[in-house]
Structure 1
Amino acid sequence: MLRRRWRWAVVALGLAVLVSLPALVEALPAADRDVSAGELRERVLASDDVAFSGYAISTGGLTLPVSDALTGVADLLSDQTSLRAWYRGADDWRVDVVTATGETGTHRDATGTWTWDYADQAASRGTLPPLALPTAPDLLPSALGRRLLSEATDDELSRIAPARVAGVDAPGLRYTPADTAASVSAVDVWVDPGTGLPLRVVVRGGDTTTPALDTRFLDLSLATPDASTTDFRPPPGADIRSDQDLTDVDLGRQERADLPATLADLGRRGFDGVPEQIGVYGSGITVLAVSALPGRAAAALRDQLAATPGAVTDDLGVRIAAGPLALMVAGTSTRDGGTGTYLLAGTVTLDALATAARQIQEAAS
Structure 2
Amino acid sequence: MTASLRWLLVALVAVAVAAPPTVLRLWPASGSGLSAAQVADRVRAAEKLGWSGEVHTVGSLKVPGTAGFANLSSLAGGTSDLRVWWRSATSWRVDRTRSSGESDLARDDDRVVRWTYESRRAVTTSYSPVRLPDESDLLPPTLAARALSGARDDELTRLAPQRIAGHSAVGLRLVPDQAGTTISHVDLWADEASGLPLRVAVYAAGSRVPVLTTQASSVHLGAPSASTTRFDFPSGVKVHTSYAIDDAAGANAFAPFTMPSSLAGMKRRGDPADFGAVGIYGRGLTDVLVIPLRHQVAHELYDQLAQSPAATTTRSRTEARLTLRLGPLSVALVFDRTGHFLLAGTVTPQKLLTAVPELREGVGVERR
Structure 1 length-normalised TM: 0.81
Higher RCO structure (Cα 8 Å, ≥6 apart):
1
- Residue aligning to 1:322: 326
Paired with 1:24 and 1:309, the residues of 2 have a C-alpha distance of: 48
Question: How far is the alpha carbon of 1:130 from its aligned partner?
Answer: 2.9
Q: What root-mean-square deviation, in Å, do the aligned CA atoms of Structure 1 and Structure 2 show?
A: 2.8
Paired with 1:97 and 1:362, the residues of 2 have a C-alpha distance of: 42
- Residue aligning to 1:286: 286
Q: Aligned AA for 1:178?
A: D
- Residue aligning to 1:9: none
Question: How far is the alpha carbon of 1:97 from its aligned partner?
Answer: 0.9
- Residue aligning to 1:83: 82
> Secondary structure in 2 aligned to 1:126?
strand
Q: Aligned AA for 1:134?
A: P
- Residue aligning to 1:98: 97
> Secondary structure in 2 aligned to 1:152?
coil
- Residue aligning to 1:226: 225
The 5-angstrom pairing of residues 126-141 of structure 1 reads: 126-141=125-140
Paired with 1:228 and 1:262, the residues of 2 have a C-alpha distance of: 42
Paired with 1:361 and 1:68, the residues of 2 have a C-alpha distance of: 27
CA deviation map 1:190-230 (0-9, x unaligned): 01011110000111111111211110011122254333322
- Residue aligning to 2:276: 275
The 5-angstrom pairing of residues 172-251 of structure 1 reads: 172-245=171-244, 246=247, 247-249=249-251
The 5-angstrom pairing of residues 27-176 of structure 1 reads: 29-100=28-99, 102-176=101-175
Q: Contact conserved, 2:302 with 2:322, CA < 8 A, in 1?
A: yes
Question: How far is the alpha carbon of 1:294 from its aligned partner?
Answer: 4.1
Paired with 1:274 and 1:356, the residues of 2 have a C-alpha distance of: 18
Question: How far is the alpha carbon of 1:28 from its aligned partner?
Answer: 6.2
Paired with 1:262 and 1:51, the residues of 2 have a C-alpha distance of: 35
- Cα gap change, 1:269 to 1:230, in 2 (>3 Å): closer
Question: How far is the alpha carbon of 1:166 from its aligned partner?
Answer: 1.2
CA deviation map 1:325-349 (0-9, x unaligned): 11111344xxxxx464421111111
Q: Which one is further off, 23-32 or 214-223?
A: 23-32
Q: Aligned AA for 1:210?
A: V
Q: Aligned AA for 2:51?
A: F
Question: How far is the alpha carbon of 1:78 from its aligned partner?
Answer: 1.1
Aligned residues: 333
Q: Contact conserved, 1:181 with 1:264, CA < 8 A, in 2?
A: no
Paired with 2:70 and 2:85, the residues of 1 have a C-alpha distance of: 26
Paired with 1:101 and 1:63, the residues of 2 have a C-alpha distance of: 19
Question: How far is the alpha carbon of 1:76 from its aligned partner?
Answer: 0.7
Question: How far is the alpha carbon of 1:361 from its aligned partner?
Answer: 5.0
Paired with 1:24 and 1:286, the residues of 2 have a C-alpha distance of: 37
| Identity of matched residues, % | 35
Paired with 1:341 and 1:93, the residues of 2 have a C-alpha distance of: 35
Q: Contact conserved, 1:86 with 1:225, CA < 8 A, in 2?
A: yes
Paired with 1:322 and 1:243, the residues of 2 have a C-alpha distance of: 31
- Cα gap change, 1:289 to 1:90, in 2 (>3 Å): closer
Q: Contact conserved, 2:112 with 2:126, CA < 8 A, in 1?
A: yes
Paired with 2:23 and 2:313, the residues of 1 have a C-alpha distance of: 45
> Secondary structure in 2 aligned to 1:46?
helix
Question: How far is the alpha carbon of 1:102 from its aligned partner?
Answer: 4.5
Paired with 1:231 and 1:293, the residues of 2 have a C-alpha distance of: 34
- Residue aligning to 1:301: 301
CA deviation map 1:55-91 (0-9, x unaligned): 1111221122322443222111111100111223333
